[in-house]
Amino acid sequence: MTNDTRQHILDTGQAIISGKGFSAVGLNEILKASGVPKGSFYHYFSSKEAFGEALIESYFTNYLSTVDALFSKPGLSAAERLMHYFTYWLETQTNCDPKGKCLVVKLAAEVSDLSEAMRVVLGQGTSQAISRLKDIIQEGIHDKSLPMHLNPQIVATTLYQLWLGASICAKISHTAAPLESALVATEELLGLPLQQSH
């Protein structure tokens, strides 16, 4: 029951913070939305910053689990699974549901200057995401669905940064155009036929 309550607070907080940002959301708003008294909140989290760290950790646990599921789909080449991941990214970032939005996009610039502890957790999570990309690119080179000349670490890092930037630009423009451009750029960078994921 303890873990359920803690996770309920995190899930509720993520939905609100994904929409408004970390600084703009007070603890009272999270407590009211989750139906949890303040005393209970401090039983699980020593401060709002500690809550922020746990929120990012929880987000990445769920996110990486989704990535692992997408990358382990049977019957597809590594390149096809990789492009399914980026199509999924495009769809979730253009969805109206704040809970589906990338928390990294929302918090990276904001909390990296506010909290060293939260910045470190963000850094660890993004490194794990890039590592997953590197592994699937290596797999694609081995199964010959991706070109031999690709440097998996460099390409994985570049793709993650490309999509993070495109997600921010999509927020600015309120359109999917930056993400659609990122999808085309991804195919070009990976040396894939441009129609593969469409």
- Position 198 scores a pLDDT of 44
pTM for this entry: 0.88
Work out the percent of the chain whose per-residue pLDDT is above 70: 93
Predicted confidence (pLDDT) at residue 154 exceeds the cutoff of 90: yes
**pLDDT digit string, tens, across residues 29-59:** 999 999 999 888 999 999 999 999 999 999 9
Q: How many beta carbons lie within 10 A of that of residue 172, not counting itself?
A: 8
Average confidence (pLDDT) over 99-113: 77
- Position 39 scores a pLDDT of 87
- Position 1 scores a pLDDT of 45
Structure confidence at residue 196 as a pLDDT band (50, 70, 90): very low
* Alpha helical stretches, state H, the chain: 2-20, 27-34, 38-44, 48-71, 78-93, 103-114, 116-142, 152-173, 177-190
Average pLDDT over the chain, rounded to whole? 90
Predicted confidence (pLDDT) at residue 168 exceeds the cutoff of 60: yes
Q: What domains appear along the chain, each with residue ranges and CATH number?
A: 47-190 (1.10.357.10)
**pLDDT digit string, tens, across residues 51-98:** 999 999 999 999 999 999 999 999 999 999 999 999 999 988 876 555
Predicted confidence (pLDDT) at residue 172 exceeds the cutoff of 70: yes
Q: Which long-range contacts (CB under 8 A, 24 or more apart) does 68-77 make?
A: 68/132, 71/132, 71/135, 71/136, 77/140, 77/143, 77/145
* CA–CA gap between residue 18 and residue 20 (Å, rounded): 6
